[in-house]
Amino acid sequence: MDSSPGRILIVDDERIACRFFEEVLAKEGYATQSVQTGEEALRQAGEFPPDLILLDAMMPVMSGFDVVAALKADERTRRIPVVMVTALEDQASRLRALGSGAEEFLNKPVHRLELLMRVKNLLKLKRYQDALAEESGQYRETAARRSDQLQAVNLRLDELQSQLLQSEKLASIGQLAAGVAHEINNPIGFVSSNVNTLRGYVDKFVEALHVYAEAEPAMSDEWRDRLHTLRERIDLDYLIQDVRQLINESQDGIARVRKIVQDLKDFSRADQQQQREFADLHHCLESTLTIATNEIKYKADVVREYGDIPSVECVPSLLNQVFLNMLVNAAQAIKGDVRGRITIRTGCDAHDAWVEIADTGSGIGAEDLKRIFEPFYTTKPPGIGTGLGLSVSYGIVKQHGGHIDVSSVVGEGTTMRIVLPRVQPAAAN
Ligand SMILES: Nc1ncnc2c1ncn2[C@@H]1O[C@H](COP(=O)(O)OP(=O)(O)OP(=O)(O)O)[C@@H](O)[C@H]1O
Ligand SMILES: [Mg+2]
Among the three residues 110, 130, 156, which one is the final residue of a domain in this structure? 110
Host domain of residue 188: 166-269
In short, whether 377's Cβ falls inside 6 Å of ligand 1 is yes
Asked if residue 139 is part of any domain, the answer here is: no
Quote the CA–CA distance of 111 and 420 in Å, as a whole number.
86
In short, whether 378's Cβ falls inside 6 Å of ligand 1 is yes
pLDDT of residue 268: 59
Q: What is the CATH number of the domain that holds 407?
A: 3.30.565.10
Give the total number of structural domains in the chain.
Answer: 3
Among the three residues 73, 90, 110, which one is the final residue of a domain in this structure? 110
| Domain co-membership, 367 together with 313 | yes
Cα of 404 vs centre of ligand 1, distance in Å, is: 14
Quote the CA–CA distance of 67 and 47 in Å, as a whole number.
15
Quote the CA–CA distance of 278 and 287 in Å, as a whole number.
16
Cα–Cα separations (whole angstroms), residue 94 to 53, 59, 374: 17, 16, 82
Q: Which atom of ligand 1 is nearest to the CA of 263?
A: 26
In three state form, how does the secondary structure of 83-137 look?
Answer: EEEECCCCHHHHHHHHHCCCCEEEECCCCHHHHHHHHHHHHHHHHHHHHHHHHHH
| pLDDT band at 163; cut points 50, 70, 90 | low
Quote the CA–CA distance of 408 and 285 in Å, as a whole number.
22
| Domain co-membership, 103 together with 180 | no
* Mean pLDDT of the chain, nearest integer: 88
pLDDT of residue 152: 87
| Domain co-membership, 262 together with 305 | no
32-42 pLDDT, tens digit per residue, is 999 999 999 99
Among the three residues 110, 129, 150, which one is the final residue of a domain in this structure? 110
By alpha-carbon position, which residue is closest to atom 1 of ligand 1? 330
Q: Which of 24, 31, 5, 19 is nearest to 112 (CA)?
A: 24
Nearest ligand, measured from the Cα of 411: 1
| Domain co-membership, 45 together with 105 | yes
In short, whether 300's Cβ falls inside 6 Å of ligand 1 is no
pLDDT of residue 222: 93
What percent of the chain is predicted at pLDDT more than 70? 92
Q: Which of 257, 424, 410 is nearest to 333 (CA)?
A: 410
In short, whether 390's Cβ falls inside 6 Å of ligand 1 is yes
pTM of the model: 0.51
